[in-house]
Amino acid sequence: MSRMRGPVDAPLNVDESTLVLGIETSCDETAAALVMGGYDVVSSAVSTQVDLHAQFGGVVPEIASRAHLDLLNPMIARAIVEAGVSEERIDAVACTVGPGLIGALLVGVSAAKALALTWGVPFVGVNHMEAHLYAAFLEDPTLEFPMVVMLVSGGHTMLIEMQDHGQYRLLGQTIDDAAGEAFDKVARFLGLGYPGGPAIDREAEFGDPEAINFPRAMLNDGLDFSFSGLKTSVMNYVRKNPEVSASDVSASFQAAVVDVLVTKARRAAEQVGARGLVLGGGVAANSLLRERFLTVSADAGIHGFLPSPAMCTDNAAMIAAAGWHRLRSDGPTALDAGAYPNLRLPLLP
């Protein structure tokens, strides 16, 4: 009880035994996790709200915020119980402060600061994108810098060079739709349901990936992506050929997206002389992408690493891990910090 004394004044020694509670509420997953020393996942609890949003074909912000408020306390309790540690053992509370849905972020931030205040431990605000970069380290601590991380989700498609902890360079990104967004829109158009990634993945199993030659935008051109034209050409094709099988369209669409993603990932890794190539984000659960990604890394002679689907999608273990690194480099975040829906990854000049 003696350490429950409100604000922490003395600098915290951040080391292998430092236990961080991570909290994530930026979109439609409510999650809490305990990570020790920045790498060791002691527990990780995630509650996905995907069923709540499915009927709307996308994440409804107000529904997400309401669900976070209901689900966050149970997730925190589960993370602590599963870890089998006493709350007094927790050294810091890390929470996503952005980017994300403002109302959703605020539930986590407010709870995280309240816990930090109550336990008398530091609060650490975490950038959600940076946390995705750290997810791979939780499963493969042998990864070496420089490495290239390809983040593909409903909100992002980007290639990032990680030169060291906290040292990032943006190599390329989408100039229009995110890859996951293209999956959602095409799945909705084909009537396959939401979320689009798994729906297309399932449907593509029965189709011919070479049935239709959809465009691979900017394939031979730099490290940026564009998926809006592909989506349009899928829609045009289906309107002109209404009898085409959804399986062939799904398989051919998926092949086009994956072709572009893996080609650019390899190009990026070769350009910067990366020692590791890592995949992250919700779309990283796509089975074709996972398969092709490993083949391409092997061909290029680069250590390719695929985090488990649970680590690719939003979770709080990656938040706790990134929080541990930020706590070590920058110290605690002030309690008057807010939430920042458009927060960007801190990039090297």
Contact assessment for residue 235 and residue 160, using Cβ atoms and an 8 Å cutoff: no
The one segment of 107-115, 187-195, 244-252, 298-306 that binds another protein by CB under 8 A:
107-115
What amino acid is encoded at 168 in this protein?
A: Y
CB of 338 to another protein, least distance (A): 5
Footprint on this chain of Zn ion (rule: CB under 5 A): 314
Q: Is 54 in the site for another protein (CB under 8 A)?
A: no
| Bridge partners (DSSP) listed for residue 64 | none
CA pair distance 31, 33, nearest whole angstrom: 7
Q: In this complex, which beta carbon is closest to another protein, that of residue 32 or of residue 251?
A: 32
For residue 172, count other CB atoms closer than 10 A to its CB. Answer: 20
# binding residues, another protein (CB under 8 A) = 41
**Binding partner of residue 112 among Zn ion, another protein, none, CB cut-off 5 to 8 Å per kind:** another protein
Q: Per-residue x/- marks for another protein, 299-338, CB under 8 A?
A: ------------------------------------xxxx
The nearest distance, CB 142 to Zn ion, in angstroms, is: 24
87 touching another protein, by CB under 8 A: yes
DSSP-derived letter for residue 206 is T
Residue 11 touches which of another protein, Zn ion, none (Cβ within 5-8 Å per kind): none
Choice between 129 and 251, CB closer to Zn ion: 129
Determine whether 276 is exposed, middle or buried from the number of CB atoms within 10 Å of its CB (0-12, 13-18, 19+): buried
Which residue has its beta carbon closest to Zn ion?
314
Rule CB under 8 A: say whether 63 interacts with another protein.
Answer: yes
Instruction: Tell the smallest beta-carbon distance from residue 135 to Zn ion (Å).
Output: 9
Q: Which of 111, 136, 262, 296 binds another protein (CB under 8 A)?
A: 111
In whole angstroms, give the CA distance from residue 227 to residue 246. 19
* Shortest spacing between CB 277 and another protein, in angstroms: 38
Measured from the CB atom, the residue of 43 and 313 that comes closer to Zn ion is 313
Q: Does 113 bind another protein (CB under 8 A)?
A: yes
Name the E strands within the chain: 19-24, 29-36, 40-48, 92-98, 123-127, 147-152, 157-164, 167-173, 276-280, 303-305
| Neighbour tally for 159: CB within 10 Å | 26
Taking the complex as a whole, how short is the minimal distance between the CB of residue 127 and another protein, in angstroms? 17
Q: Which is nearest to 92 in space by CA: 38, 27, 166?
A: 38
Among Zn ion, another protein, none, what does residue 314 contact (CB within 5–8 Å per kind)?
Zn ion
Q: How far is the CB of 14 from another protein (least distance, A)?
A: 22
The distance of closest approach from Cβ of residue 182 to another protein in the complex, given in angstroms and rounded to an integer, is: 22
Q: Does residue 346 have a cis bond before it (omega within 30 degrees)?
A: no
63: partner contacted, choices Zn ion, another protein, none (Cβ within 5-8 A by kind): another protein
User: Which residue is associated with the tokens 């952005």?
Assistant: 98
Q: How far is CA 328 from CA 14, 20, 162, in A?
A: 6, 12, 18
Interaction of residue 106 with another protein, rule CB under 8 A = yes
Task: List all residues 6 or more positions away from 103 whose beta carbon is below 8 Å from its beta carbon.
Answer: 61, 62, 64, 65
